[in-house]
Structure 1
Amino acid sequence: MRCSYFDAGVCRSCHWLGQAYDDQLARKQERVSQALAAVAPLRWEEPVRSPDEGFRNKAKMVVAGTVEEPTLGILDHAGRGVDLLACGLHAPGLQAALPALRRFVTRAGLTPYSVPERRGELKHVIATESTDGELMVRWVLRSTEAVGRIRKHLPSLREELPVAVASVNLQPEHKAILEGPEEIFLTEREALTMRVNGIDLHLRPHSFFQTNTEVAAALYRHARDLVDAASPTTVWDLYCGVGGFGLHVASPARSVTGVESSKAAVEAAAASAASLGIGGTTWLAGDATSYAFEAGAGKAPDLVVVNPPRRGIGPTLAGWLEASGVGHVVYSSCNVDTLARDLAAMPSLRPVSARLLDMFPNTPHHEVLVLLER
């Protein structure tokens, strides 16, 4: 991918953009292989490639500048806005939508927040594109002062763009935090439908979903194949999010329990299961580690899927898995270092196979899926 922002030195978020994609992939494979080699020998599957541009389904744009001339992009070292409307990472629908979203800032009279001066209202615009081309657009504001103007002008924006879900998020603090806990919906719909491998996942504003839809689909398919080969009758999907893994591995002869700290996410997973007619699934809001100790005090499941944040599952949950009777674990990780630490804490669960999935081209970031067998 060629990027004028990178060439001009105004944005260096894609650290590896100057490297050929094949070289990037080989470098990541070497990195993750070396990190896990010390834990146990295992078989590496062929890595999953990604397009090196146009793959991001989500645009998280810092808003700066003025009402008349807003910028959507990032901030420089002085806190001034750097406009990145033409960023080549975004999916085509997002690239087409961003100029209209910038014009909307002016039309609705939304004052961009100035970090150096600590004043203004609009901090971020967050847009997500579904596989059907629909959009979820969120305006992150410091207060409700501009909500009325956004409501007034939203119909004109929806004439330009396929906005299915629109909301205002309130984040009043002067901190490097993307969003706050309060969401004000401006549309009847509150969730964006993301169809992955024929399964409709319902994304609400605070729900986590992989930003690379194509590679996420491959991740879920590979996990499903691993689970089907193990033939468990009971599965736990810990850190289940909106149910991507759990819904893919569900079957009539298998019970699946998903656990996630976000109540909105598990409600979305339950809605997906109901709309698809998938029985035998349970979705619970709570802490994954606490659930394992409480529910696993009786009979442990046959297989556990874990998809934790970068910090990994940690020693407590790893210790429970090690001592449990769980026969298989499918571990999806975006941080090979915490993955290696967690695997070392579960010596009775032997890594059998692993696969690199290039969720984040042009950067050193990675996703790895590992199958463990007792």
Structure 2
Amino acid sequence: MQCSYFDAARCRSCTLMGTPYAEQLAGKQSHCQTLLSDHAQLEWLPPLASRESGFRNKAKMVIGGTAQRPTIGILDADGYGVDLRKCGVCSPGLRACFPVLAGFIRSNRLTPYDVPRRSGELKHVIITESPDGEIMLRLVLRSEQLVPRIRKNLPALLAALPQVKVVSVNLLPEHKAVLEGDREILLTEQSTLNMRVNDINLHLRPQSFFQTNSEMAAALYRQGREWVNELAPASVWDLYCGVGGFALHVADPSRAVTGIEFSSEAIVSARLSSEEAGLQGMDFQAGDATAYALKARQSPELVIVNPPRRGIGKELCGWLESSDVQHVVYSSCNAQSLARDLAALRSFTARRARVLDMFPQTKHYEVMVLLERAA
């Protein structure tokens, strides 16, 4: 894939841009195998390739420039906007929204936040597209000042972009390098974006996490389901479950499945998906994954973990070591923290692994490992 923004040095976010894709994928496989080279019995499945372009289902774009000439993209080193509305890694559905949003900003005088001067209101737009082409739009503002104006003129935006089903305003009053704040104001009657993945309809709320590559997310969940069904455990915990992707995919009438996620909004979504599908034996709870495990009276036969980049950490590794858990399915977006955690899980043997290229054009990737308690 070639990118004019990268070639012109306007954006270097995709650090592998221009590198042949086969070379990218081979490099990620090699990197992961090197990090996990201590696990001699590990069987490596073929890596799963992604589309090279148009794969991102989510765009987190900084709004810069002026209300009359807004930029949608990133900030340069001096804090001024760089327009990237034709970014090639974003899905065509996302790119189709950017010109309309620019027009909405102009016509409603939504003043972009000026980082160097710390003035203005509109900081970011966060847009997510479902596999069915529906859109969730979130406008990140400094204050509630523009909310009445946005609410009044929202029907015109929805008429221009009928695929937009969920719209909210997120408030980020502080001047700091984060994308969103804690408070969300819903502007549409519909509150969740339906993310149909494989045979499961997931519900994504504005502040919930979902993988940025829908096709690779579907492959990730299929791989997890394949491994779990092969082992046929009677009980499964899905720790860091998010909106329930893994838990819902491994549901079975013969199996008790518990999902734990810190975000209460994500748990509401997971429960809704479970109820809609009429699944039995499902239990979703909001809370800290490690705290839940440490307080539990019994351990399941199998645990799925899909932690943030920092990994599961010493405490949860220690609990797994002392538990009766027989198998672990570990899905990681950071092979370095994965390697550290696996080194702490001395009672388990890493049996299978697979690299899934969730993030083409970058050095990042997802890797899944199946662990078995040593005899």
TM value normalised by structure 1: 0.99
2:64 is aligned to 64
| Contact in 2 for aligned 1:352/1:370 (Cα 8 Å) | yes
Q: Does 1:125 pair with 2:125?
A: yes
**1:223-244 residue CA offsets vs partner (Å, 9 max, x unmatched):** 0000001110100000000000
How far apart are the structure 2 equivalents of 1:262 and 1:339?
Answer: 23
**1:342-372 residue CA offsets vs partner (Å, 9 max, x unmatched):** 0111111110000000000010001000000
How far apart are the structure 2 equivalents of 1:83 and 1:145?
Answer: 25
| Contact in 2 for aligned 1:332/1:369 (Cα 8 Å) | yes
How far apart are the structure 1 equivalents of 2:83 and 2:16?
Answer: 21
Report the CA distance between 1:2 and its aligned residue.
1.6
How far apart are the structure 2 equivalents of 1:7 and 1:303?
Answer: 47
Report the CA distance between 1:182 and its aligned residue.
0.2
2:300 is aligned to 301
How far apart are the structure 1 equivalents of 2:30 and 2:269?
Answer: 37
Aligned to 2:36, the other structure's residue is in SS state: helix
How far apart are the structure 2 equivalents of 1:299 and 1:79?
Answer: 52
2:251 is aligned to 250
1:142 is aligned to 142
1:169 is aligned to 170
1:50 is aligned to 50
1:310-321 alignment runs, 5 A limit: 310-321=309-320
Q: Does 1:191 pair with 2:192?
A: yes
1:55-94 alignment runs, 5 A limit: 55-94=55-94
Report the CA distance between 1:40 and its aligned residue.
4.3
How far apart are the structure 2 equivalents of 1:206 and 1:76?
Answer: 27
Letter in 2 for 1:28: K
Query: How many residue pairs align between the two structures?
Result: 372
Letter in 2 for 1:100: V
Report the CA distance between 1:131 and its aligned residue.
1.1
1:372 is aligned to 371
How far apart are the structure 1 equivalents of 2:306 and 2:99?
Answer: 35
1:35 is aligned to 35
Aligned to 1:37, the other structure's residue is in SS state: coil
Report the CA distance between 1:92 and its aligned residue.
1.0
| Contact in 2 for aligned 1:39/1:340 (Cα 8 Å) | no
How far apart are the structure 1 equivalents of 2:238 and 2:107?
Answer: 45
1:91-102 alignment runs, 5 A limit: 91-102=91-102
1:363 is aligned to 362
CA RMSD in angstroms comes to 0.7
How far apart are the structure 2 equivalents of 1:214 and 1:108?
Answer: 36
Q: Would you identify which runs of 4 or more consecutive aligned residues in structure 1 move more than 6 Å?
A: none
**1:70-93 residue CA offsets vs partner (Å, 9 max, x unmatched):** 000000001110000000011111
Report the CA distance between 1:279 and its aligned residue.
1.2
Aligned to 1:95, the other structure's residue is in SS state: helix
Aligned to 1:71, the other structure's residue is in SS state: strand
Q: Does 1:206 pair with 2:203?
A: no
| Contact in 2 for aligned 1:39/1:343 (Cα 8 Å) | no
Report the CA distance between 1:125 and its aligned residue.
0.6
Q: Does 1:275 pair with 2:276?
A: yes
How far apart are the structure 2 equivalents of 1:224 and 1:338?
Answer: 23
How far apart are the structure 1 equivalents of 2:117 and 2:12?
Answer: 25
Q: Does 1:18 pair with 2:12?
A: no
- The answer for unaligned runs of 5 or more in structure 1 is none
Aligned to 2:88, the other structure's residue is in SS state: coil
Letter in 2 for 1:273: S
Report the CA distance between 1:39 and its aligned residue.
4.1
Report the CA distance between 1:41 and its aligned residue.
3.3
Sequence identity (%): 60
How far apart are the structure 1 equivalents of 2:299 and 2:71?
Answer: 52
| Contact in 2 for aligned 1:70/1:102 (Cα 8 Å) | yes
